Chains A and B, each alone.
Chain A
Amino acid sequence: MMPRTLAVLLALCLPSMAGVLPAPKAKPAIAGNLSILRVNSTSQAYDFFRPWTKKPPATRRGLGTLIEGGRILVTAELVANHTFIELEKAATAEKSSAEVERVDYECNLAILKPVDPAFLAGMQPMPFDTGVRVGDRATVLQLEPNGEIAQTLGTVTSISVGGYPLDNMGLLLFRLSAPMQQRDGSFTLPAVREGKLLGLLMRYDARSQTADIISTPVIKHFLSEAAKPVYGGFARTGIAFSITRDPQLRRYIGLQEPGGVYVTEVMKNSPADKAGLKIKDVILAVDGRPIDQDGNYDDPEWGRILFSNLTNTVFHPGDTVTFRVFRDGNTLEIPVKLEARDRSKIVSESYLVDKAPRYVILGGVIFMELSRPYLQEWGGDWLKDAPQRLVFLDAFQNELPEDRGKVVFISQILPTPDTLGYERYENLVVSKVNGKEIRSLNDVVEAAKTPVDGFQKIELEEDPGLIILDAAAIEANRDALTRKYALPALQRL
């Protein structure tokens, strides 16, 4: 439920900035240092070009904030694909390993716990800030190599709904204007106000000197969900909308009310779809709060805020929120029961973290399921550089037929005597194997069990149309294939 034009900022590392004024020296007694820990996270991502292997490990550093319950709050990105997490006390360099108790990549938050709870002795949890306003000053904490805290003072320049990095989910964020310096520990930094936690810095744009801060309401929502027996996360209504500023559009649809937004998309099986919202509906109010022409409601605390903040952060999955809708000249009250997104129905995953990519190798032919991380292996310009048909399938996945299932494709073909002549085929979308429709990799495994006249017949949605393999030869050459290419397994499902 995000306007399409939402800007997505750069990722989160802090580039070095030579010549910037040194940060003011820290006052030793700030409350923060009793709540701040260094977090070293070693992570290893999978290599989607060789889905059976991982990329070289890398270590990221950030600052965790101790909150009530002996929990340490960090961004989810800091611990994504972690293999080992280590907590380090700033002053004494004492270390303890830690585990992830709860992580949510949509809101980019994670809770860590030290393996040894006694490690936190002598530290104090940091309370949450309330009532921040645009124009207020806030401080971003960083650690000097000697364990001292460096503080950068900035100004809160906006409070609005913006895209969170991994899934581009629109959640409330604080934007801070502050001249930050590159320092050791740049993933996750606490932003505080008078010793209270305002939020976690998740990305910084050095050119504009703006920091995006995961806001306290989002953190509190995450923590309250984490306290439940079943983590519910952040609900998505499943609609896209357009502003209604154009008076010609307003007159054409007969809209008399001053506000409202025009529904342009309702995702199948989403809460909005189940509740009966339709394309062309105009949303006039949510939870009794009027919506303006741009989609904002008047929040008593934050001012004019996109109404998705109500459905994803103020309310929780399982709650019912009433939408007042203008449709064909009538005004309707439609209760919408909120749910988090059912990720099992997603055609092409926008992120795959802490999870190995699935693959099946049949006689050297590598089958995978389309996901955005695969496309992102082409680098920063992947929208242009990655195989275009796959880019389009990912981008327009909501327009595919409902029963389309996953997009199974041949990522590449390992040259063997069995795949002679096919070596150059890559990134081809599969429609059928041995006459059976393919909607997932499991379908490929099933279909491959029944070759047709001794052949594995792979039908493609594009040229060359058909790839045929000798079923018996593939079986006979399994070991040779795994040995030659050092494959740990011929499939992972």
Chain B
Amino acid sequence: MFRHLLVAVIATGLVQAAPVAKSLVRIETTSQEPNYKTPWSPGEVSGGVGAGFIISGNRIMTNAHVVSNARFLTVSKEGDPKPHPAKVVHIAHDCDLAILTVEEPGFFQGTVPLELGGIPAIESTVSVYGYPIGGSKLSVTQGIVSRIDFQPYSHSGMDSHLTIQIDAAINPGNSGGPVLQGGKVVGVAFQGYSGDVAQNVGYMIPTPVIKRFLKDIEDAHYDRYVDLGLSYKELFNPAARHALGLTDDDSGVLVGSVYGGGSAEGIVKPGDVLLAIDGLPIASDATIPMDNDSVPLAEVVERKFKGDTVTLDILRDRQPMQLKVPLNGPWPFTLHSNAYDEDPRFVVFGGLVFQPVDQNWMSELQPEDLRLRYTFDFYIEDKLYKDRPEIVALSGILADPVNAYASEFRNGILDEINGRKILKLSDAAEEFAKPADYYVIKMAGIGRPIVLERKAVEQARQRILSRYGVIREQNL
């Protein structure tokens, strides 16, 4: 998450037996990241260092990004050189938090679990603990609370939650470490800017997000954040306000889109004006009053769980109405989020490699194909998910005589095989498994099909697998 670190801030390293030492751990990880260009291969192994802290119930809290794709993890207590193997119990990629445990008996003996505090006041002082770059021992930095706002969480790349900005130095290795005020945890250090972008801007995950995560996993399963599944815009224009039946009281936002599969589908309509959420009035800039502050209206939903309900006061065709929206699940589309702890999915047939298109795939292959880019970028906005629950692309061609004339189709979107519309990767695997003389593969927007003869595919199969080191032909 700190990808472009340039300025290493030297932290004054004198830690004078602070009580927090009994709650801190240093986490060393060995992780393996898959390679989407050779999806069958196990991927590259790399290592990293992060911080964590002990909370109630013999649990260690850290960032999800510290332990993502981990193959082996050790934690060492502050002041104790011994590394202890640990494992991930829960991981929440959408809010960048994780819970680890150490099974070794006696590990937690003598440790002190930290308690969670509230939201610190603006301008109040906080201390950041961790193992950042610049040395190997515990480092403490201090700063003030600069801003409390919604911010994107770069780990998933798609989620935004309440975030607290502090001006204490946060550097690689600080991730997962506690931020304390008055002996209580007020945040988990997790991301920042490199020095060439902005100075003294660090971010921590505040306790409302931490508490929500802990509550969510009480049933031993993480359900993710719930979402209304709609978009809205500010309503400042006086003419628009009058036309929609509003007065000049600076309230209300206009619903732009309601997405298929989302909680609000079939309940809220585009063109509705949202006036209040759970009784809290919505201002024309899409904020609500909460905790003596004004926060984005999404914060109400942020604090809820699957199965909860949200009450919306709206205007529809100038008439006031009240709607109950059961929050039936998270934001329905995950393809634009960075994915972790997943093996790439693929099907190889006749040397043609088919893969579902998602953020991981896009960032690794960076295709320039216009149709593919459009389908990915506008998948939600233009409701392309209705036609394609999954975008399956011809992502690679393992060159062989059987596919000698397929190169112009690279990065095309798979549309049909033998007349069957392909909605998801498993459809393709099914069609390829059926016996047929010819496999006629049609790509979206291209008139000529790829034609593969079964005989030729069978003859080429072993040759392609051994020549290209393909150890697995599919992962669905």
Residues of A within 8 A of B (CB): 4-5, 240, 242-243, 245-246, 248-249, 251-252, 262-265, 279-280, 383, 388-389, 391-392, 395-396, 399, 418-422, 453, 455, 457, 462-470, 473
Contacts and interface: CB of A to CB of B under 8 A. Distances in A.
B18 interface: no
Interface on chain B toward A: helix, strand, loop, or mixed SS? mixed
A245 B405 contact: yes
Interface stretch (B83-91, B133-141, B301-309, B440-448): B440-448
Contacts of A468: 237, 239-240, 243-244
Interface stretch (B8-16, B147-155, B173-181, B451-459): B451-459
A383 B370 contact: yes
B453 A422 contact: no
A242 B447 contact: yes
A245 B440 CA distance: 16
Contacts of A243: 405
Given A421-B237, A421-B240, A470-B238, A251 B408 contact: no
B371 A463 contact: no
Can you list the 9 inter-chain pairs with the closest CB atoms, starting with the nearest?
Answer: A264-B447, A421-B236, A246-B405, A470-B239, A463-B256, A464-B233, A242-B448, A468-B240, A421-B237
Contacts of B377: 388
A262 to B, nearest CB: 5
A212 B166 CA distance: 61
Interface string B401-424: 010110010000000000000000
A107 to B, nearest CB: 27
A395 B231 contact: no
A252 B440 contact: yes
A243 B408 CA distance: 11
| Most B C-beta atoms less than 10 A away, residue of A391, A420, A421 | A421
8 contacts: A246-B451, A251-B451, A252-B453, A264-B448, A383-B370, A396-B371, A422-B237, A462-B381
B378 interface: yes
B374 interface: yes
Nearest to B371: A396
A470 B242 CA distance: 9
B236 A420 contact: yes
Contacts of B271: 465-466
Contacts of B367: none
A12 to B, nearest CB: 25
B464 interface: no
B234 interface: yes
Given A264-B446, A455-B243, 13 more contacts: A248-B405, A248-B456, A249-B449, A251-B451, A252-B451, A265-B447, A388-B373, A388-B377, A389-B378, A421-B237, A455-B239, A465-B256, A467-B237
A246 B374 CA distance: 29
Nearest to B405: A246
Given A252-B451, A265-B447, A389-B378, A465 B405 contact: no
Nearest to B446: A264
A488 to B, nearest CB: 26
A252 B438 contact: yes
B23 interface: no
B243 A262 contact: no
B257 A463 contact: yes
A392 B235 contact: no
A224 to B, nearest CB: 34
A465 B447 contact: no
A350 B238 CA distance: 39
Contacts of A391: 370
A389 B384 CA distance: 13
B284 to A, nearest CB: 8
B189 interface: no
Interface string B361-372: 000000000110
Nearest to A422: B237
B254 interface: yes
Contacts of B243: 453, 455, 457, 468
Given A388-B374, A420-B237, A467-B240, A396 B445 contact: yes
Which of B244, B370, B381 has most chain A Cβ within 10 Å? B370
B447 A473 contact: no
B270 interface: yes
B254 A466 contact: yes
Contact of A463 (B233, B238, B408): B233
Contacts of B381: 462-463
Contacts of A418: 239
A326 B256 CA distance: 50
